[in-house]
Amino acid sequence: MLQETLVKRVSAGVLDVGYYETGPADGMPTILLHGFPYDGHAYDEVVTNLAGAGHRCIVPFLRGYGPTRFLSSETRRSGEQAALGADLLALLDSLGIERAILGGYDWGGRAGCIVAALWPERVVGLVSAGTGYNIQDIAGAAEPGPPDQEARDWYQYYFHTERGRKGLDENRGEISRFLWKTWSPSWSFDDATFKRSAAAFDNPDFIDVVIHSYRHRYGVIGGDPAYAEIEERLARKPDIAAPTIVILGADDGVDPPQSNDDEARKFIGFYHRRILQGVGHNVPQEAPTSFADAIRELRERD
């Protein structure tokens, strides 16, 4: 399991990235990306499955999580989508990986979708969980959604306020545990499982990155100018040509799957959408075999 694996480090872009690596060094590069509020331990069982099947599994901590640190105190602690995509691209470059399978959910799925859309030559295949086409429409973010979805997004609006920032700072563990429970109501995780991941939220940049992420996506605050060009490209809602498997949890308490697959048109290559019964938002940790099977299927297509 990842908690028994030594954390490696690499300088990548603006970050000193902490990551786990498991599997043969010459295996199929497979980057597995966690979301908010989770960490790389969501992939413990996935990497055990894949490493034995010849995958070189790399599980980084995103900016603001765990051992990952910014190289400069002057770098803006942005959590915007373009920053996450740029971080992933920089990681591939720093590790000398030309092409990889990308797997992710929540924030990590967004990073994977961005790289697959903007730099498709670097992607063997994409597994996007929780949300399929996970690129934000910031220009349209001011439009209200259905009341039930607005209620599920309470935490995002909470983080727009200074009260919410203070609440996350003082109660990050309690808020995160509450989100785990409400987003994955059929998942019975124990205290040890939660605490293992919650340790990653003690990163000194966690609050700044999270708050910026949820304010930027609604246009409440500006982005880092360093990523303006990427954000401009994402605003055009680019298609994803890389072979893609989307996995959704039927019990997802924050982003429940819709019966109509309106996102299918954004995937112009091989595309398959799966809905897993009895699974919530944290797909790789709740359904590791299904997630690993999707990764292997994409490898076989290459």
Domains of the chain are 2-301 (3.40.50.1820)
Task: Name residues whose C-beta falls within 8 Å of residue 24's C-beta, 6 or more positions apart in sequence.
Answer: 51, 54, 56
CA neighbor of 169 nearest in space, from 125, 201, 121, 127: 201
Which DSSP symbol is given to 102? E
User: For residue 248, what are its two tokens?
Assistant: 């959704």
pLDDT of residue 73: 97
Question: Cβ(230)–Cβ(85) under 8 Å?
Answer: yes
List, for residues 71-122, the tens digit of each pLDDT value: 999 999 999 999 999 999 999 999 999 999 999 999 999 999 999 999 999 9
User: For residue 194, what are its two tokens?
Assistant: 């939660």
pLDDT of residue 51: 96
User: For residue 160, what are its two tokens?
Assistant: 């727009």
Other beta carbons within 10 angstroms of residue 147's beta carbon come to 8
pLDDT of residue 2: 64
User: pTM here?
Assistant: 0.96
pLDDT of residue 250: 98
- Ranges in the chain, pLDDT < 70: 1-4
